[in-house]
């Protein structure tokens, strides 16, 4: 089978697509791959926050249209950017082995968070990161930051910010880890659901392709991703909501922690649950129920119009 891969044009998206292409081409069922680079609305509109233009789902709509129209067979996504609910007719056929799950601080002069000056300007368009930064340093001034990885690094270098926050996995994939000043532990900053995981989306009806793609899935990543993404689904949270979730598995036991917080850093609702990893979805649902009991939905509704 020859496989056509729809991808965004950014350096990171192309790295991810090429990585998946190489893995696929090692399979006997695959006779070759081709990339279909595309621009998406999320890439093209950089002067407004994602919250205002429709969320991170804008990065995948054109890719889904290409698959729907028969121009492409699959699309590779950073799973943290994929909405909890996919459009009818599409599925996530692959959940690949998780790379680095952490958020990374990149600062001028390599300063750590506690070494930044008072009221330092931090570049981030993530309400999840903003909320947790404010919990660590209430004085920080969080300012919107859009664009691809290299564009964001250039803005820091040009002095527009004192520091920026990016996903460590993306920097490592592009060989840019030398810029990292500090990697936040989950106790400092919980990551987004499935951060560091690559997922492959295709049409649900394409059984032959799905059977091939399932071979690329990592069982541990499937379980942790299921647990984490269940939180967002049950809370009806978008990829932009200040919701964090992180699961680990050890000796068959899954431990899941999730957080919902106001972008100003307070109030914060944080809960954990543990159990058999085979019950990943049920554990996610149980933890989401605890968050809801403590007012998570009301908190999310109260900040729907929050503008970072």
Return the number of other C-beta atoms located less than 10 Å from residue 127's C-beta.
24
Please tell me which residue in 81, 103, 162, 308 is annotated as part of the active site: 81
43 in catalytic set: no
Q: Tokens representing 261?
A: 């917080």
| Beta strands 121-123 and 74-78, pairing class | unpaired
Q: Tokens representing 78?
A: 């950073």
The rounded distance, in Å, linking the Cα atoms of 229 and 84 is: 6
Nearest to 260 by CA among 302, 214, 218: 302
Specify the DSSP element, H or E, that contains 78: strand 74-78
The rounded distance, in Å, linking the Cα atoms of 72 and 75 is: 8
Q: Tokens representing 254?
A: 């899954």
The rounded distance, in Å, linking the Cα atoms of 203 and 300 is: 32
Nearest to 303 by CA among 259, 272, 260: 260
**Catalytic positions, written as ranges:** 81
């Amino acid at each position: 089978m020859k496989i056509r891969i729809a991808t965004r044009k950014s350096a990171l998206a192309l790295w991810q697509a090429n990585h998946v292409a190489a893995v696929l081409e090692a399979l006997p069922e695959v006779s070759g791959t081709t990339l279909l680079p595309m621009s998406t609305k999320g890439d093209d509109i950089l002067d407004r926050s994602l919250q205002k233009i429709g969320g991170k789902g804008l990065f995948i709509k054109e890719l889904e249209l290409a698959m729907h129209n028969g121009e492409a067979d699959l699309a590779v996504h950073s799973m943290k950017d994929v909405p909890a609910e996919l459009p009818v007719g599409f599925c996530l056929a692959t959940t690949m082995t998780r790379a680095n799950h952490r958020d990374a601080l990149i600062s001028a002069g390599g300063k750590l968070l506690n070494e930044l000056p008072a009221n330092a300007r931090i570049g981030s368009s993530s309400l999840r990161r903003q909320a947790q930064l404010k919990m660590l340093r209430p004085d920080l001034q969080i300012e919107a930051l859009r664009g691809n990885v290299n564009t964001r690094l250039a803005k820091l270098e040009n002095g527009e910010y004192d520091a920026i926050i990016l996903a460590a996995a993306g920097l490592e994939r592009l060989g840019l880890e030398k810029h990292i000043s500090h990697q936040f532990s989950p106790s400092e900053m919980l990551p987004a659901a499935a951060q560091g995981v690559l997922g492959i989306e295709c049409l649900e009806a394409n059984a032959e392709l799905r059977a091939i793609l399932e071979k690329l899935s990592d069982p541990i990543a499937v379980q942790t991703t299921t647990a984490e993404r269940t939180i967002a689904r049950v809370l009806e949270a978008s990829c932009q909501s200040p919701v964090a979730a992180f699961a680990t598995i050890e000796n068959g036991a899954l431990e899941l922690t999730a957080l919902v917080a106001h972008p100003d850093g307070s109030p914060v609702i944080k809960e954990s649950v543990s159990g058999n990893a085979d019950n990943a979805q049920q554990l996610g649902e149980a933890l989401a129920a605890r968050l809801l009991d403590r007012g998570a939905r009301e908190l999310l509704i109260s900040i729907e119009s929050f503008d970072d």
